[in-house]
Structure 1
Amino acid sequence: MKPDAFEAPDYYLVDELLTDEHKLVRNTARTWVKRHLSPIIEDYAQKAEFPKQLISGLAEVGAFGSYIPVEYGGAGLDQISYGLIMQEMERGDSGIRSTASVQSSLVMYPIWNYGSEAQRQKYLPKLATGEWMGCFGLTEPDHGSNPAAMKTHFMDKGDHFLLNGAKMWISNAPFAQVAVVWAKDETGRIHGLLVERGMEGFTTPETHNKWSLRASATGELIFDNVKVPKENILPNKSGLGAALSCLDAARYGIAWGAMGAAMDCYDTALRYCKERQQFGKPIGQFQLQQKKLAEMITEITKAQLLTWRLGVLKNENKATSAQISMAKRNNVAMAIQIAREARQMLGAMGITGDYSIMRHAMNLESVITYEGTHDIHLLITGMDVTGLNAFK
């Protein structure tokens, strides 16, 4: 693979809206990606293997729990800083950003928000350093877009809970030390349980034969009469809303992350079309290629402004679930369209591992589906503006 010469587009000078701390955080993450992720990611994607040696580096640049308070091992940064880190991680690879998103928003976030003080002290510092990795168990084999119908359940056995069921499409599952698992009690109420590797009856078989997110470890969570200590239930919030609030945190990070993938594809296509000669001139001089690039930078600029504003609202605790859904849906759709156009601009070279575009395109096929599908987010917006529920 060629050296990482990425230059981020900033057509509307969005950097002027960022603080010096924001830019320092972003530039630190960007430098790390260039030095440590870009040189190896194509090889690991080809091998369909997660590069575990990157975990400590991800922790060092704040990719794990950047907005978690310092007293629990986090960096204590704001939501825009978190978004910028996710943008840089996905500029490198969606699978690596997924690993960080799960750790931050789907594992550390619920423990911090809904866990006991003892749970925070036990888990968060280890998760922040990457000593422990976590995963999030909500999706089931028969229940994806309708998690309320989950079958995973637990029973009160006096001194412990007995957990049974299965989850699938779980990022980080094959190597996670702790899983935040959502399951129904005997009344049908959904609760979060902290299930640790080594508990008898808990297994995490890896999912193979993926054409997407190949550098991310994906697996199942199987619970066969797993005895979960009662102190491992998240005490401060229950119900489906607790699980969905975690998805809001993750979707916010995805909105930023997808923008990073789009930026990388655009930058690659722009650089290529200035160098590639056909009919005696650079292909960037042809009108159709300029049309593609002009549309790409327009959509990226719109996404930058949308996401920055969402970050401001998140910092002010004003961002709604529907606003987050809109940003996730818009930015991922934008990114996958740019990846497809950029691939065409590179012709046959676009499908090779010499460039990042085809890997981004394959990864984004997952990103457009997980954390709420493209269509589900459309209906969330529709319900928000009409007040009418199209899900039932």
Structure 2
Amino acid sequence: MNNEQTQHPPFNEFLEQLKQRMKQVFHVRANIDQMAIKRGMPPFVMREIMNLKPLATGIPAEYGGRGCKMDESIALLAAASYESLALSLTFGINSALFLQPVAKYAGEEAKQKVFRDFLEKQNMGGLMITEPDFGSDALNMQTRFVKKDEHFHLKGTKHWAGLTGWAEYWLLTAREESPSGDLKRDIDFFICNVNQPGQQIEVEEVYENLGLYQIPYGRNKIDVSIPEKYRLQPRSTGVKMMLDLLHRSRMQFPGMAMGFIHRLLDESLDHARDRKIGGRPLIGYDQVQHRLSRLQSYYTITSAMCLNSAEVAGIENDLSEGGLEANSVKSVVTDLMQDAAQSATQLVGAQAYKLDHIAGRGITDSRPFQIFEGSNDILYAQIAEAIVKTMKKTRNTRLFDTLKAEVLTQRSADRLKKFLDFDLSLPLLQRKLVQLGAVVGRIVSADLVLKLGDKGYRSDLIEQAIQVLDEDIISMLTGFNQSGQPLVVDDYRPQSDWRSFLP
């Protein structure tokens, strides 16, 4: 531990320095639109940006960092994503998936070494959970470990870890192998330093990922020996530690979404004001107004999520039981990111289909956010399952009553009572769980927007966002209450060739 805390510039001053540095490297020294369609990040870009020590935001003050403050972490992600979603995700991987877990769960000696390397050597870190045969089914991962003397030997395969081949540090997840060769149920986390003997990770393949070209992904062979002091220390179980980690990370997705949506809104407004169709600006057309108003509402909704996460998602809080909130935030905001990119592309038109245009590129760059760290379909199903579990516990299947009693949804449930006041017919089909979860996620989002309004956020933007959310909720409920359940027709080819019906 440092005897004296490192002196950092005030956060707002640092943020302004970062914005100026990004402007310099992305727009003066290079063209970010051209850079973003090539694999990897030019070395000078990372060097110039990392010289400002942005990752100090995720390091406690007693180890020389800025204090691991959640509001600063989210603001950092938002500032970066206005210019580059890939850079923001790089910061997010380092902070949410490595530095914050280390700050909360690592031993003293490990913290000192890791944080010193990040601050003095500009090291980076990531997290490896996903395996080729076990993506969403992470609890059944096959990477295993056994203890040998004062070390843990880990063996397995991981893939789709952001910063594959770049990061010096990794959090590796594995299950303990019993003497009989079976794997125990719980999960452990280990800090791996690829620069240390016996800890090298072999990159077997670098993937040609669709979008986010500047971040490397791939398949990694794990066969490492980790000292005992670099094992994370859970407060109860490893599974709860993983849930705390993942829920906290999901609560920081609004930071990455914030700058991205803000940029698309600005670009769309500028285009709509400047572009003339039929002798008048594009912004004068009603359908364009509709798209722009939705984009503005996404800006407000994401702002509400950022504020909420800054208040509740700090590492001092245990988020392992916060699945309803974290899953709602992550799934809804990533849906908004994709919809924002689609709308911006539609508004700009053909120009947006150039690889070096931010709107069209934003479609592929934002799409994986709906998949990684929990596919949105799965998260929506989990949200609905939590609601159904409450119903079973209270023996009340009235949707309104359940949402009215839930602190995360009670205000919006009141406002939407006439649409929510019906009985759920349990059990629900999986597709109905997903639909219900999408509804509940937006009701949670509406509550967050109302709370943002209570704090003095401009009322016209609050009203606009609530109206958009209400429209979406009511539309989704209409689909949810439809009774049709179309199934796949397996052998569909007979009598399905349209040409056979020509006269």
For 1:194, which of 185, 191, 196 is the aligned residue? 191
Corresponding position of 1:164? 155
Rounded to whole Å, the distance in 1 between the matches of 2:268 and 2:41 is 27
Corresponding position of 2:387? 385
Q: Partner letter of residue 209 of structure 2?
A: K
For the residue of structure 2 that corresponds to 1:142, the secondary structure is coil
> Deviation digits for residues 115-151 of structure 1, max 9, x if unmatched?
1100000011222456211121111111111210000
Rounded to whole Å, the distance in 2 between the matches of 1:379 and 1:68 is 34
Alignment pair present for 1:174 and 2:172: no
With over 3 angstroms needed to count, the CA separation of the structure-2 counterparts of 1:65 and 1:367, relative to structure 1, is farther
Q: Partner letter of residue 197 of structure 1?
A: V
Corresponding position of 1:247? 246
Structure 2: 5+ residue stretches without partners? 1-9, 179-183, 393-427, 431-503
Residue 259 of structure 1 and its aligned partner are, at CA, apart by 2.3
Residue 204 of structure 1 and its aligned partner are, at CA, apart by 2.3
With over 3 angstroms needed to count, the CA separation of the structure-2 counterparts of 1:372 and 1:314, relative to structure 1, is same
**Is residue 73–residue 129 contact of structure 1 (8 Å, CA) maintained in 2?**
no
Residue 241 of structure 1 and its aligned partner are, at CA, apart by 2.0
> Deviation digits for residues 163-221 of structure 1, max 9, x if unmatched?
11011001112121121101011241311112221544631245232221111122232
Number of corresponding residues:
371
1:224-239 equivalences under 5 Å are 224=223, 226-237=224-235, 238-239=237-238
Rounded to whole Å, the distance in 2 between the matches of 1:354 and 1:191 is 42
For 1:362, which of 350, 361, 364 is the aligned residue? 364
Corresponding position of 1:343? 345
Q: Partner letter of residue 92 of structure 2?
A: S
With over 3 angstroms needed to count, the CA separation of the structure-2 counterparts of 1:353 and 1:329, relative to structure 1, is same
1:1-392 equivalences under 5 Å are 24=13, 26-38=15-27, 39-61=30-52, 63-76=54-67, 78-128=69-119, 131-187=122-178, 188=184, 189-198=186-195, 199-200=197-198, 202-224=201-223, 226-237=224-235, 238-314=237-313, 317=317, 320-387=322-389
With over 3 angstroms needed to count, the CA separation of the structure-2 counterparts of 1:306 and 1:150, relative to structure 1, is same
Higher deviation after alignment, 283-292 or 46-55: 46-55
Q: Partner letter of residue 88 of structure 1?
A: A
Corresponding position of 2:445? none
Rounded to whole Å, the distance in 1 between the matches of 2:249 and 2:20 is 24
Rounded to whole Å, the distance in 2 between the matches of 1:162 and 1:318 is 29
**Is residue 65–residue 108 contact of structure 1 (8 Å, CA) maintained in 2?**
no
Structure 1: 5+ residue stretches without partners? 1-20
Residue 28 of structure 1 and its aligned partner are, at CA, apart by 4.2
The structure with the largest alpha-carbon Rg is: 2
Rounded to whole Å, the distance in 2 between the matches of 1:281 and 1:170 is 48
Larger relative contact order, structure 1 or 2 (CA cutoff 8 Å, min sep 6): 1
Q: Partner letter of residue 339 of structure 1?
A: A
**Is residue 70–residue 309 contact of structure 2 (8 Å, CA) maintained in 1?**
no
> Deviation digits for residues 208-263 of structure 1, max 9, x if unmatched?
32221111122232113x22222322234551222232222322222221122111
Residue 23 of structure 1 and its aligned partner are, at CA, apart by 5.1
Residue 103 of structure 1 and its aligned partner are, at CA, apart by 1.0
With over 3 angstroms needed to count, the CA separation of the structure-2 counterparts of 1:110 and 1:129, relative to structure 1, is same
With over 3 angstroms needed to count, the CA separation of the structure-2 counterparts of 1:346 and 1:323, relative to structure 1, is same
**Is residue 272–residue 281 contact of structure 2 (8 Å, CA) maintained in 1?**
yes
Higher deviation after alignment, 236-245 or 55-64: 55-64
Higher deviation after alignment, 312-321 or 145-154: 312-321
Rounded to whole Å, the distance in 2 between the matches of 1:310 and 1:178 is 26
Corresponding position of 2:451? none
Residue 354 of structure 1 and its aligned partner are, at CA, apart by 4.9
**Is residue 83–residue 253 contact of structure 1 (8 Å, CA) maintained in 2?**
yes
For the residue of structure 2 that corresponds to 1:213, the secondary structure is coil
Residue 57 of structure 1 and its aligned partner are, at CA, apart by 4.3
With over 3 angstroms needed to count, the CA separation of the structure-2 counterparts of 1:211 and 1:235, relative to structure 1, is same
Rounded to whole Å, the distance in 2 between the matches of 1:90 and 1:206 is 28
